[in-house]
């Protein structure tokens, strides 16, 4: 006895709707824009629904995020032009001193983090989001990204370093603007 269309839809929703926030977060940090991320997630869910009969795994989150990732990179190839990339300055900056965290300070730091992340290459943003926000292991990322585990570790290390540098650069720019 086969499954009906409504049973198929119900099973899909049960497994994949709880993953919506993670799907959006990954898409957002890969492409760097809210509307684009929403479009990518919508397309990824359509693709996932169409391919749902082939889902055999026990980890719907990983399966869906792989589809989101592939959809995002297809979108980038179709829409992203090189002149949209902000060049990154590789100079190492001093770590800004700690300051008391007021609400305004927290919001400023949050904004700096988002800006710094948006300056990173897609490969770096991707590993940071998967590891730091989604809690993926190196092994899981290597499998999903189809790269050796050493590449994941190296990419993550470089991504962290460049993120730190970008935040320092933004902090220094902010200080100079205040002077």
Give the per-residue pLDDT at 87. Answer: 47
**Segment-wise mean pLDDT, segments of 10 residues, the chain, 179 residues:** 62 87 90 87 91 84 90 82 49 48 74 85 88 86 86 87 85 67
Give the per-residue pLDDT at 24. Answer: 92
CA-wise closest residue to 37 among 108, 129, 110, 116:
129
**Rg of the Cα atoms in the chain:** 19
**Cβ(35)–Cβ(139) under 8 Å?**
no
- The pTM (predicted TM-score) of the whole model is 0.55
Domains (range + CATH), the chain: 5-82 (1.10.1740.10), 87-178 (1.10.10.10)
> Which residue is it, tokens 């990419």?
155
């Amino acid at each position: 006895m086969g499954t009906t269309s409504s049973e198929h839809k119900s099973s899909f929703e049960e497994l994949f709707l709880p993953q919506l926030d993670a799907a959006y977060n990954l898409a957002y940090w890969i492409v760097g824009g809210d509307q684009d991320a929403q479009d990518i997630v919508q397309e990824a869910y359509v693709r996932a629904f169409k391919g749902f009969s082939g889902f055999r795994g026990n980890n719907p989150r990983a399966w869906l995020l792989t589809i989101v990732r592939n959809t995002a990179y297809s979108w980038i190839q179709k829409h992203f032009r090189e002149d949209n990339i902000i060049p990154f300055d590789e100079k190492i900056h001093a770590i800004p001193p700690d300051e008391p965290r007021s609400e305004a300070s927290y919001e400023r730091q949050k904004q700096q983090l988002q800006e710094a992340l948006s300056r990173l290459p897609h490969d770096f943003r991707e590993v940071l989001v998967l590891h730091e926000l989604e809690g993926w292991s190196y092994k899981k990322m290597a499998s999903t990204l189809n790269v050796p585990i050493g590449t994941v570790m190296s990419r993550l290390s470089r991504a962290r370093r460049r993120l730190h540098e970008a935040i320092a650069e933004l902090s220094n720019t902010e200080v100079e603007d205040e002077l």
